[in-house]
Structure 1
Amino acid sequence: MKFAHRAKFAVLIGSLCLGLLASPAINSAQAVGEIDEQFQVVNPPGPGYTGYLVNNSRSLARFWTNLATFKIENQLITGMARCKSLDKCPTNFTFQLGDMNLTPCANSTEVDCIAGITTKNLTTGAVSNSFTPRPELTENFDAAVKGDPSIGLPNGGNPLVVSIPSAAHSAGDLYLVKSDFFTHRDAGTANRFVLDQLTNSIYPVTVETGQFVPGGPNLDPMFYVGKPVGPGTNTMDSSLSGFITDDRCLMATRTTCIKSQPFPANYSFGISLNMSKRFNGWLYGRMANPEISVTAAASGSSVKVEILAEPVKVPIVFGWTKNSDLTPELRERYQKDRGGGLYAGASRQDPFDSVSILKGHSNKYDALGIDEFLSWLPFLGDKAVAMPSQWSFQTLNLNSDTAVELSKCTASVNSLAGLVFTNASVFSSGAPAFNKSEGTLDYKVASPHTKPDGTLTTGSYDLVLNSSVARCLYGFSKAPIGATVSVLSSDGQAQVATTVVNEKNGFFRMGAYGFGFSSPTIKMKITQAGTSGSKTTITCVKGKTSKKVTAVKPVCPTGFKKK
């Protein structure tokens, strides 16, 4: 799970190492009869294998509320403490990191909280805003942190499990509603907490008691104090380390397991958030047919964000292959890059053929990730191992490489900049690229060609752009934006897809549904009155001289006549 403050804090994630395994060769597919939402990764046959996994169905539920204070001296962590409230934190610190699981709003004026949860029956059209929190089911997580809204730190609660009778699923009516407010602040009493990222997800669940392997954030100071930080240190990632949760659970303590279940068919789900800051970011995630509203309060100090959308089924790819069988390009890459889950071997830095490391993506998507995914498909049979249903969205860090161009056009927008939602296994989390030569917005996605049962996978893609951001990004005029949508296979052949295009209420929306994978390109041909979308070409002659003139309203030069 990502934390911000990446320039100042990095620690080794040693707690993710499971050590040497002596298990026999195991098929990468899950056992027959298992629920896709409960997909479990199997171990490699032993050392000398590289695995690849693309599955973010659990990543957004990995951590629960935590607040930690760090002291840094001479590029070493000299102090670390977990805090249950700010008044119990050490006052002599370098910076503080928080992951606050937002709680239901106590009243209409509270901010940085969950204002509502909505369901819509797509068959009857019935909408319900009724839900009942079940705090007794998660009280033994003991994660609650008292915030301080005066300096931008919201209250953080235990995992929020609620009952939603209007949308009962196959195993009951309980849902985990996970809204994580990732934040930090530097030393100094005048400094406020800064919102770095917001992630939101809804999971149908059951809550079981028994004996489980607890996961969650690692908040033991012994894993941090004395570790180097900063440029030039041999550190893995600027993240708080964590423990791997029991494979059977989304979240778990020693005695409680929150277990994922399938979404009921023909329902949309929604969440409303009261946010203290302007909500002018970029969203990406897993849902379809979104209905979105961002409304500023009369005071201008807060906004209400409402998103209602359908869950989607996202193909998971997973498998192990011998290191010796990897392509030369992948082998060279992974010999240098030893990041990922370590499943076999004493050390990540041992000889390459004596360790097994799981590579892949859980919560980061860009062009390089798409290329890596496509390199793995031949090893994995171009086939998904599971198709779990998901409903999630999160903010994109506008300082990331993915958002370089996007961030140039969002600073002056006092509303949502835009979003991209898809069920593709991998995709780019930023805005589509503008193909100037063709006048199209091009967006690449990738997924395995078939489902576990051998039937074809189909894709969904939704793009919503603030009209002002669209005009800035792509140089459009103020004239109304129109578009036609096409989906091209990797061989350039057009695919049949259902498409939606419109511009209203200050947002430009495009949707494409039902297209096939493995790596199609979605193209939007932009048309505007007075732009290249309506240009025509005429031929003009003057004696034996001939000229072609292309323009919106082409006119022959002086002395020439239209042929």
Structure 2
Amino acid sequence: MKRNRKFSVLLIAVALISPALAYGADSTVPEQWLTLPSPGAGYIGYEANETAFANTEASTWINFTSDNGKVDGKVTKVAICNTGAEDGCNYSVYSYYRAILPICSGSADINCISEIFALDASGKKLSVSSATVFPTNNPQAFAGNRALNVPRGSGAALVSIPEAPHAGGDNYLVKTTLSAGRTGDQTTFQTPRLGASISAVKIIDGDFFDLATETNTTKYDQVGRIQVGTTQTKPIDAKPSKLCVAVSTTQCALPYSLPKEISFGFSLRLNTNLSGWLHGRMKNAVIEYKTTDGITNLSVTANPIAVPVIDVWSKSDDLSDAHVASYLSQFWGGEATHYTAEGVIGGTPITEAEKTRSGMKNISFKHINASFSKSSMDNFLLWLPVAKDKAAAMPTQWRLGTMTDNGSGQVRECLDKEKALAGVVTTNSTMYLDGPPVFSDGTLDYKVASTHYEADGTTVFKGTYELIMSSSVARCIYKFTSAPISATVSITSENGEANTATTLISEKNGWLKLGAYGFTFSSPTVKVKLTQEKAVPIATATVPTKKSSITCVKGKTSKKVTAINPKCPTGYKKK
């Protein structure tokens, strides 16, 4: 199958590197982990911290123009769009939007949040205040265009849940996004990807770096590689704006640990069908999904989980030859600093020469993991021993998103056949493969990887894995009937040995749920096997038919005939 060209977001934001002393931050709060700064030239780093994704998720709609009208041309204009009618927004090469969905204004509103809710450990529904928009001043919020199928892009929803207090108060930020791109000769935007997060926050005032897509074409080395800048103009010291899950130039939503005993959730009303798979950072998830007359209603409720963060630097000379070689052909996405004869330069991409061992002596670069592909898994496993198999921090997360890979073979065939939401995979593992389980030799296999130890260096980190799959998709994969399904879940360590875990299996309301809990790392494989007893044919008992008798006569002679269906002989008549 031919794939569309992939575009990536390059985060070159040296000005946003957090200082040693955070502005309003608390180093004891895992969600406020301060990313380790560069030690200087000749150092290469790596960060796997999915909580950092939130601070890049601001509404924006941009359109690229190139000198040759193709994606391989030189970028000549990057326009910020509101309705699509603005100068430079007439589509030619590549366009992209990320829309943070607003709260629904009424029952007829679409592409919006229809409800936000929370439940305590007993299942009691907690009171949630009316939502406000945060930040109120979003420099690149946009009206959207229904004719182009571009939803409105707003700010996140800020609510108060007094019965669910956290260390920073009782405010929570709910950020749900739809994003899609259009490239080449595509006549419309592709099916949007869903993203969602819920964060415990405290709103603090100050001077911060907000998020705004860069429009200076000199910052772009190719079409579609999006650069993130800021509208902040004050000559302020670097503040930990990267810690903010949402931010303006004057306010920051500073994150705190989510209470794990509270189940948080939302309902969305969308005009798009969410076929495919979702992946998440959550536990005990409950999914409700229904599409009627082109309108999709999706509700998700789940508990948050803690996910290990890796953050490490190494001298480039100390990296193995295999480590250096593995990155030579890769795109480097992260934070770059170039040490040149003219001085220290930031904000420009890494060159091919700088990827070599000699070239790395004149740069510092931190690789920021932004995907969960096979190559990302391989990179993570390269850095795991450098991090000494220990987490840097253990922040809580509540996240959900569309998988980029919908699988292959029987899994993909059944997805295409059902044309609906196939399922959700959730795990607290730092790294996993962004795709559904692979169907191989009768089992659904899922690869995960994480540190063996938590941040204290002594507590063994215990993994969780949950697979919530549409019952119809599961039956299609295994060619099962509608009869009940049974399953086994096993964990196999990287050395092939069995890894002890507690498992849970249930089927309810059209969803099959399987879970494994308490297994250890570094890179085990979760194996799920579904079975169904073959129907045993019911033997049909032969019931003897009752015989009857008649009397037949011929003249003075009479004869009694007994049979199942008695008849008189020739010449005889029934008496």
Please give the range of the TM-score, normalised by the shorter of the 2 chains. 0.7 to 0.9
8 Å Cα contact 1:295-1:305 kept in structure 2:
yes
Match of 2:395 among 388, 400, 405: 388
8 Å Cα contact 1:116-1:272 kept in structure 2:
yes
**CA–CA distance in structure 2, aligned partners of residues 143 and 125 of structure 1:** 39
**CA–CA distance in structure 2, aligned partners of residues 267 and 199 of structure 1:** 21
What are the ranges of 5 or more consecutive residues in structure 1 without an aligned counterpart? 230-237, 532-563
Shift of 1:219: 3.8
Look up the match of 1:559: none
**CA–CA distance in structure 1, aligned partners of residues 368 and 139 of structure 2:** 32
The residue matched to 2:454 in structure 1 has which SS? coil
> Are residue 44 (structure 1) and residue 46 (structure 2) matched?
no
> Are residue 492 (structure 1) and residue 481 (structure 2) matched?
no
Shift of 1:89: 5.1
**CA–CA distance in structure 1, aligned partners of residues 11 and 439 of structure 2:** 42
> Are residue 371 (structure 1) and residue 371 (structure 2) matched?
no
> Are residue 195 (structure 1) and residue 191 (structure 2) matched?
yes
Over 3 Å counting, the alpha-carbon distance change for 1:8 and 1:516 in structure 2 is: closer
**CA–CA distance in structure 2, aligned partners of residues 370 and 167 of structure 1:** 36
Over 3 Å counting, the alpha-carbon distance change for 1:341 and 1:398 in structure 2 is: closer
**CA–CA distance in structure 2, aligned partners of residues 405 and 429 of structure 1:** 17
> Are residue 445 (structure 1) and residue 475 (structure 2) matched?
no
> Are residue 164 (structure 1) and residue 161 (structure 2) matched?
yes
Look up the match of 2:96: 97
**CA–CA distance in structure 2, aligned partners of residues 381 and 10 of structure 1:** 30
Look up the match of 1:115: 114
Over 3 Å counting, the alpha-carbon distance change for 1:348 and 1:8 in structure 2 is: closer
Over 3 Å counting, the alpha-carbon distance change for 1:335 and 1:144 in structure 2 is: closer
8 Å Cα contact 1:71-1:92 kept in structure 2:
no
Look up the match of 1:294: 289
1:341-380 maps to which residues of 2 (within 5 A)?
341-346=334-339, 348-349=350-351, 350=354, 351-362=359-370, 364-380=371-387
The residue matched to 1:140 in structure 2 has which SS? coil
Q: Who wins on radius of gyration, i.e. which is larger?
A: 2
Shift of 1:73: 4.1
Match of 1:431 among 431, 436, 444: 436
Counterpart amino acid of 2:369? H
Look up the match of 2:236: none
Shift of 1:412: 2.7
Counterpart amino acid of 1:195? T
Over 3 Å counting, the alpha-carbon distance change for 1:392 and 1:320 in structure 2 is: same
8 Å Cα contact 2:98-2:180 kept in structure 1:
yes
8 Å Cα contact 1:179-1:201 kept in structure 2:
yes
Shift of 1:293: 0.4
Report the number of matched residues: 499
8 Å Cα contact 1:19-1:343 kept in structure 2:
no
Match of 2:415 among 380, 398, 410: 410
> Are residue 518 (structure 1) and residue 522 (structure 2) matched?
yes
Look up the match of 2:126: 128
* CA-based RMSD: 3.1
8 Å Cα contact 2:58-2:155 kept in structure 1:
yes
Counterpart amino acid of 1:46? G
**CA–CA distance in structure 2, aligned partners of residues 329 and 371 of structure 1:** 11
Shift of 1:395: 0.7
**CA–CA distance in structure 1, aligned partners of residues 26 and 63 of structure 2:** 46
8 Å Cα contact 2:17-2:242 kept in structure 1:
no
1:19-418 maps to which residues of 2 (within 5 A)?
33-74=27-68, 75-88=73-86, 90=88, 92-94=90-92, 95-122=94-121, 124-128=122-126, 130-135=128-133, 138-185=135-182, 192-212=188-208, 214-223=209-218, 228-229=222-223, 238-243=224-229, 246-297=241-292, 300-337=293-330, 339-346=332-339, 348-349=350-351, 350=354, 351-362=359-370, 364-398=371-405, 406-418=411-423
Match of 1:508 among 487, 505, 512: 512
8 Å Cα contact 2:77-2:215 kept in structure 1:
no
**CA–CA distance in structure 2, aligned partners of residues 344 and 98 of structure 1:** 29
Over 3 Å counting, the alpha-carbon distance change for 1:82 and 1:20 in structure 2 is: closer
Counterpart amino acid of 1:243? G
The residue matched to 1:378 in structure 2 has which SS? coil
Deviations 1:184-236 (A, max 9, x none): 45799x95544331111111111111122x142324244468x554xxxxxxx
The residue matched to 2:191 in structure 1 has which SS? strand
Percent identical pairs in the alignment equals 32
Deviations 1:293-331 (A, max 9, x none): 00223xx21010000001000001111112222122112
TM-score normalized by the length of structure 1: 0.81
Over 3 Å counting, the alpha-carbon distance change for 1:337 and 1:411 in structure 2 is: closer
The residue matched to 1:509 in structure 2 has which SS? strand
TM-score normalized by the length of structure 2: 0.79
8 Å Cα contact 1:18-1:343 kept in structure 2:
no
**CA–CA distance in structure 1, aligned partners of residues 17 and 300 of structure 2:** 45
Deviations 1:130-169 (A, max 9, x none): 332233x522333331123344222211233222223222
The residue matched to 2:382 in structure 1 has which SS? helix
The residue matched to 1:411 in structure 2 has which SS? helix
**CA–CA distance in structure 2, aligned partners of residues 395 and 442 of structure 1:** 19
**CA–CA distance in structure 2, aligned partners of residues 8 and 515 of structure 1:** 34
Deviations 1:438-467 (A, max 9, x none): x32222211111111221111111111223
Counterpart amino acid of 1:391? W
Look up the match of 1:560: none
Look up the match of 1:558: none
Deviations 1:44-87 (A, max 9, x none): 32111221211111203413111223333412333332123334
Look up the match of 2:459: 455
Which moved further from structure 2: 273-282 or 81-90?
81-90
Shift of 1:408: 3.1
The residue matched to 2:172 in structure 1 has which SS? strand
What are the ranges of 5 or more consecutive residues in structure 2 without an aligned counterpart? 231-239, 340-348, 536-575
Over 3 Å counting, the alpha-carbon distance change for 1:112 and 1:499 in structure 2 is: same
Counterpart amino acid of 2:268? L
8 Å Cα contact 1:50-1:358 kept in structure 2:
yes
8 Å Cα contact 1:290-1:308 kept in structure 2:
yes
